[in-house]
Amino acid sequence: MQSGQGDAGGGAYGTLMSTIGDGILAFYQDLRNQGLLNSTLMIEFSEFGRRISENGSQGTDHGAGGLMMAIGGAVRGGIYGSAADLNPRSDNATLENGGGDVTYETDFRSVYAEVLDGWLGADSTAILGGNFREGAPAII
Q: Where are the domains of the chain?
A: 13-105
pLDDT at 38 over 90: yes
Strand partners, 45: 68
Would you say 114 and 107 are in contact if contact means Cβ atoms under 8 Å apart?
no
State the pLDDT at residue 7. Answer: 58
pLDDT tens for residues 49-67? 888 888 888 778 888 888 8
112: Cα within 13 Å, side-chain hemisphere:
14
Give the alpha-carbon dihedral of 77, 82, 86, 89, to 10 degrees. Answer: -170
pLDDT tens for residues 67-106? 899 999 999 999 998 888 888 888 888 888 888 888 888 8
- What's the chain's average pLDDT? 87
